[in-house]
A and B are shown apart, each in its own frame.
Chain A
Amino acid sequence: MNKTLTINLANSIFNIDENAYQALQRYLEAVKKYLTGTQGNEEILADVEARISELFSEKLTPEKQVIVLQDVDQIIQVMGQPEDYSIDEDIFDEAPKTKTSTRVKKLYRDGDQKLMGGVCSGIGHYLSIDPLWIRLLFIVFLFGGGFSVITYIILWAIVPEATTTAQKLDMQGEAANLSNIEKKIKEGLTLFQIPLKTQIIKG
């Protein structure tokens, strides 16, 4: 004797064994997870459920009224594993994605171009503008109540200084791949920088 459940799959009602139900649920969850981020994933999942529902109907006869684990296993064989639901994005994309990843810029303090803590030049890198403007802004706000002093000290304390070459590339928004690191080294920065050590070479 087996416990059965009644399920509604794409608007059809099925009696299904408990273990078969669990297998089906695991499968649909896995497919759903796999399709996350795909355009129209809910629609795809609805289509898949409709097809499974159709295949279930074909399994039922007047003598056989309940979906069992074996049926679910067979249907999974027919439908395929979650990774079979993938389509090659490169083939079907309207405009192929450029492989050059635009690295997300990160805010660092720039120890190479600093007047005090490198906060302004760091922000300058982050916003891709000359740090001079940031410095001017800080000075203007200095006369407007001294907020900029506190802001500066807080930023000095919480924003890390870019010490490694990878961090410096992050700061400037360049991908830290081999050729860029090489370029940086050629520009006069050493790869094996030790934090806190004063920089001899000026960029």
Chain B
Amino acid sequence: MNIENTKAQMRKGVLEYCILSILNGEDKYASEILESLKDAKLLVVEGTIYPLLTRLKNAGLLAYRWEESSAGPPRKYYALTETGRLFLKELDATWNALKNAVQLVTK
């Protein structure tokens, strides 16, 4: 068993949840989402996020719109949809339960 693989799996598992959380209450474009994730050290390389965003969008959890930017080409702003908000709520509960469970076990 490769420790790096296990770590990567763990991170990937929560990445979806984190992306939805980042977009909760504020629409952001890819680079801003990336910044948050990289600051939190959740993301090692940026490439991982693009297939995820597309998948979340195709699943109806995210929507995007193009917005002009003062510096450079238009940006793709992502926002939570109503389904996405409900999804996130559910994940919040799951995450809390999981956090408590892990804390209990690893004590």
Binding site for B on A (CB under 8 A): 10-12, 31, 35, 38-40, 43-44, 47-48, 50-51, 53-54, 57, 77-82, 84-88, 91-92, 94
For window 12-38 of B, CB contacts with A under 8 Å fall at: 12-13, 16, 30-31, 34
Asked whether B30 lies within 8 Å of A10 as measured between CB atoms, the reply is no
B contact residues around A79 at 8 Å (CB): 45-47
B87 at interface by CB-CB < 8 Å: no
B39 to A: closest C-beta gap in Å: 15
Q: Give bound CA distance, A91 to B13, whole Å.
A: 8
B53 at interface by CB-CB < 8 Å: yes
A contact residues around B45 at 8 Å (CB): 77-81, 84
Q: Which residue of B lies closest to A78 (CB)?
A: B46
Q: Which residue of B lies closest to A77 (CB)?
A: B45
Asked whether A88 lies within 8 Å of B12 as measured between CB atoms, the reply is yes
Q: Give bound CA distance, A179 to B16, whole Å.
A: 39
A contact residues around B16 at 8 Å (CB): 91-92
| Cross-chain pair count, CB within 8 angstroms | 76
Contact A44:B54 (CB < 8 A) given known A51-B46, A78-B46, A87-B48: yes
Q: Tell me whether chain A's interface is mostly helix, strand or loop, or mixed.
A: helix
Q: Which residue of A lies closest to B59 (CB)?
A: A94
Asked whether B73 lies within 8 Å of A12 as measured between CB atoms, the reply is yes
Q: Give bound CA distance, A140 to B16, whole Å.
A: 61
A-B contacts, 17 of them at CB < 8 A, read: A10-B73, A39-B58, A40-B54, A40-B55, A47-B30, A47-B54, A47-B76, A50-B30, A54-B31, A78-B45, A80-B44, A80-B46, A84-B44, A85-B50, A87-B48, A88-B9, A92-B16
Q: Which residue of A lies closest to B45 (CB)?
A: A80
Contact A40:B47 (CB < 8 A) given known A47-B76, A87-B52: no
